[in-house]
A and B are shown apart, each in its own frame.
Chain A
């Protein structure tokens, strides 16, 4: 750690000194070389800098009700009591080239933001921002107590008590057995912890223009993330259930593990210096960016509340006995667990760019960026469990002490990655025809060494896993996989008629990968878009005359619109993309047409691993019919229709429909399709007096389906020649199942702001808004075939309950001007949030009955989000001067 800090300090010092030199030299050079002073160097005759500002302060009441209300303040701070929420100060004068603006929002709250902007027009600008973002996860309860950075401990007495009542893992933990009873009893007095983070960010940016054609900038940003967040470690144990098929296959898989607090104390420091030079027809620039990520807590150690002594997992039977009767028991039996936290890393990036206006209508440009990422944090030991003896699991293992870092094949990764980005473009813009061609390339070149490990501590840190025992002799090594992505695209935009524009684009995307399922992808996509625009106003003949006379390049900008002109716009946009994987690499599983034990009225085929199977190194060990969605062949249809009616400069109505569908090969496993559709409608109207009304509605539907398979353990009864060694073994097609998720989100929002300019309400301002966001997720699972009798329970098709999340937001604000510069007002904010999600409804540790099964020994902290109602009432005074 000290080394890292020193290193950071050195780099900081060096960079600061050098940057200072740059700025000083530029300043010095500018003046020494006798640049002709601008007229603005002359002092203005009057320097009456004026100060204007606004400050808003008041008091706030907040009442939040619900079981787990942390969601309300998930990423904000809504304090009770006195506040200063808005502070704006402007030092500005028409007689001075200088200006200073200071902004403060929600000052002294956990989400405060302070900004400063100092500028000398045309010369330099100094910006400073301080911003805080809180992140609250809720209140958790745990036996673990932080005793040092990255170290969480549990009372030895408690651990001894719990270990004493821990039963052997051969049977499922009884709901009201001694262990759960004791855990629940002890938890009543366990301390609560507010689990939360805060991200603080400071940014300083200095821009300097020694002349109108040179821009130099320097930026330092510093990001600190501190606090805790929930994290977990765990495994599972196998519980045989009488009558559940094969003793070792049927039954339950009981979760066992521990949720803890991940300590966060991270810094990211970023230095950026660059310059752009411009001529009349060209621009060129360069930038250097140094980004340093530093984690002050390099690892996390927590104590297992259930252990005071290390223990090894239950050993499998030695050959020739069946190996599976015991291997999945007595896991998570370590006293201490050590997790690696994100390692320190460095990034150096240098970027060059240039553009040239070949003609007034044609521009060529290029951008080249070279980034170099490195990471070399020392490795942690495999385990802290002193009871693990690797040779018990792998007779020829060379490892004698897995707790000793000296036995690691390397002491650190010395990881290096080179990231090269290139972009080249040619753009032409004539009056009615625009053309663009572009090439982009991203090359991630992984230069990290490949390290072969003889094994590692697995299964809850209680056993040893080696290549021979679990990976078909494939080496346990990190792969220096990398990729290159290239895009070649070209397109044009043609104003066919004054009212019609046609846009067409073609894109060829190429992926080249190393050590993944697909080494090369080609995707071709074609996009067509038609834009219609009709003038429906009474003066359309005149407008059309003007427009046609000057070609469509004179179409009014999509900004302020003339009064009394009604415009109707249609947009049709469609993209078709076809991605193909040249080859999908799979492991050489063996096809069996009549798999033993197949159900009578279902498929009898299967893919299995036999003793003759030789696995391919470098390919993922997976079912050979699986196709991963990010690599495999895909057809994409992406279309949208937009309608927009603009009446004058005040009224706007728009509606759109958008469909995005990804279709995959239905003959394989994995994602079969992913379809989304979006409907949006928006209406806005601005009144004469500046008041306005808006309403929006959107409906988003997402529907995806994937095919999966419940495969079997290695079958100890398999005949010779069909023996499988590892855990990937038998894939009976009969155990195929398919799952769909149909997700729907309705969003509705409307609001009105009323600011009468005359009459008795002249000094009042009213604001009301309402928003509703309602989401529902329906999951269905279908197993089209009879399930094999020897399948684990999950081969069946059990439904999931729907997930519902609803949020409403009601805001009412009233303010009245008391006298010039003084306003008094009040706000009321009501936010009900409803969440019904089976994944989060019950996370209390060791609470049985609400969960159907399988989590009795997973010790959660119960820091989570739930439903709530929150009311916030605010009174404020706004003073402007």
Chain B
């Protein structure tokens, strides 16, 4: 009876598809790795490394002596973070050093007795957004998450990496350091490193960083229904980066997926379907009915349930007195229309044409 539903062939079909794709990737990877390691390529890379990376002596010179004279705390804690470690343990172009990121360090050293306002515009103390970003993208353009940074919304708004990140946390270190007056400096630096925000953020959390500029979304923290709900320790479960890619995202609103619905399906895969009876506006855009950050209505709806449905449905059936009738009828209370049409996102039931089951 269920012969035509036998899934066995599909298992193999699915497995074959997966195997084919992974095999293709495997081949591509192997070829690439092989290509990367052929003598000529290795030479190219090494050559490039020589061009961009400073020599060891230069690093030591810059990190260990000149900068430390004024930026003691920064230099002390630097070896513990990713950038500092790259300086010590990597020899390719990713090896960070003061002068790799802070161009014109020599000029800065010459004018170091002057105030920041007196610095030349291209000094390390006064970098432009583009200069900052170019320095960071030297390495981070290789991260797939940064693929669409250039020309993305943040880039177009002239934001720099330092708008959200604090690479050395110099200001915060200055505050914390007074807590540990007599401790050995090396121990102090390690202790400090455990108290700095993660991801080198300039604020304590991702959300605080984002909401600092996106003030409009802050209201969602306390709205009746919200994705920005927090625990009693103010930890956000669904954070800004759960849905947005702050480093790019060509789709509108810097989404982490290509479309709104694709993004929603990552957590709400049960609504992906396909369904026998689809609800086209639902399929086209979840935001037709939902306000994703927060709403004054339940379920993140843009309007009270029956007011929302009525914007598109003048009752194929005249019995639905959700209209200007009595205020507290079945079509207005609780889930409103969804008291009966509970499968508003789609139904796979043969009798679910009106999305009731």
Contact = CB atoms under 8 A, between A and B. Distances in A.
- Does A pair with B? yes
Interface stretch (A143-151, A164-172, A308-316, A379-387): A379-387
B120 to A, nearest CB: 7
Contacts of A796: 324-325
B190 interface: yes
B285 interface: yes
Interface string B140-168: 01111001101100001011111111100
A853 B232 CA distance: 41
B311 A629 contact: yes
Contacts of A706: 307, 310-311
Interface in A780-837: 781, 783, 792-801, 803, 805, 807, 809, 829, 835
Interface residues of A, number: 264
Interface stretch (A13-21, A173-181, A183-191, A592-600): A13-21
A290 B22 CA distance: 11
Nearest to A270: B266
Given A90-B193, A555-B129, A689-B175, A562 B117 contact: yes
B152 to A, nearest CB: 9
B109 interface: no
Contact of A558 (B5, B30, B129, B354): B129
Contact of A408 (B127, B280, B350): B350
Contacts of A380: 349-350
B70 interface: no
A575 B342 CA distance: 37
A515 B284 CA distance: 13
Nearest to A14: B15
A212 B142 contact: yes
Contacts of B6: 3
Given A121-B89, A796-B324, A803-B296, 11 more contacts: A10-B11, A33-B37, A38-B92, A328-B319, A485-B284, A700-B219, A728-B317, A773-B223, A777-B304, A799-B327, A853-B329
A278 B319 contact: no
Interface SS of chain A = strand
B22 A40 contact: no
Given A212-B45, A353-B147, A562-B117, A557 B159 contact: yes
B357 A339 contact: yes
Contact of B120 (A233, A531, A546, A797): A546
Contact of A698 (B171, B215, B258, B352): B215
B330 A255 contact: yes
B353 to A, nearest CB: 6
Contact of A711 (B172, B265, B315, B348): B315
A483 B29 contact: no
A273 B28 CA distance: 13
Contacts of B84: 94
Contacts of A280: 48
A656 B215 contact: yes
A568 interface: no
B61 interface: no
B105 interface: no
A712 B318 contact: yes
Q: Would you list the 6 A-B pairs with minimal beta carbon distance, nearest first?
A: A255-B330, A794-B325, A559-B162, A557-B160, A415-B274, A794-B321
B321 to A, nearest CB: 3
A483 B16 CA distance: 29
B130 interface: yes
Nearest to B187: A50
A40 B90 contact: yes
B304 A839 contact: yes
Interface string A693-704: 000101010001
Nearest to A103: B198
Interface stretch (A154-162, A434-442, A577-585): A434-442
B259 interface: yes
Contact of A285 (B120, B144, B335, B349): B144
Contacts of A621: 316
A875 interface: no
Which of A233, A438, A772, A864: most chain B CB closer than 10 A? A233
Interface in B71-127: 79-80, 82, 84-86, 88-94, 116-118, 120-122, 125-127
Interface string B325-347: 11111111111101110110001
B190 A52 contact: yes
Given A11-B14, A481-B278, A794-B321, A350 B333 contact: no
Contacts of A792: 318-319, 321, 325
A676 B271 CA distance: 29
Nearest to A656: B215
B296 A678 contact: no
B232 A374 contact: no
B80 A92 contact: yes
B283 A444 contact: yes
A557 B193 contact: no
Nearest to A447: B274
Contacts, number: 622
B180 to A, nearest CB: 8
A845 to B, nearest CB: 11
Contacts of B326: 793-794, 798, 852-854
Interface string B173-201: 00110100000000000110111000000
Contact of A39 (B89, B175, B353): B89
B133 to A, nearest CB: 8
A191 to B, nearest CB: 21
A286 B25 contact: yes
Which of B162, B195, B270, B304: most chain A CB closer than 10 A? B270
Given A539-B117, A670-B311, A557 B224 contact: no
B128 interface: yes
Contact of B122 (A381, A554, A749): A554
Which of A6, A255, A727, A797: most chain B CB closer than 10 A? A255
Contacts of B128: 550, 553-557
A213 B121 contact: no
Interface string A527-564: 00001000001010011001101100111111110111
Contacts of B335: 230, 232
Given A232-B340, A373-B274, A549 B36 contact: no
A223 to B, nearest CB: 7
A507 to B, nearest CB: 10
A122 B349 contact: no
Nearest to A277: B32
A275 B29 contact: yes
A485 B319 CA distance: 36
Contacts of B171: 560, 649
Interface string B5-27: 11110110011011101110110
B329 A253 contact: yes
B342 A233 contact: yes
A340 B18 contact: no
Contacts of B343: 339-340
B233 A106 contact: yes
Contact of A565 (B33, B117, B266, B283): B117
B342 A423 contact: no
19 contacts: A25-B29, A35-B36, A121-B90, A211-B33, A223-B269, A230-B335, A233-B357, A285-B147, A295-B270, A367-B258, A425-B148, A431-B130, A513-B280, A557-B129, A706-B310, A757-B178, A779-B307, A803-B304, A854-B329
A211 B328 contact: no
Contacts of A757: 175, 178
A38 B283 CA distance: 51
A380 B323 CA distance: 34
Given A22-B22, A345-B269, A858 B339 contact: yes
B178 to A, nearest CB: 5
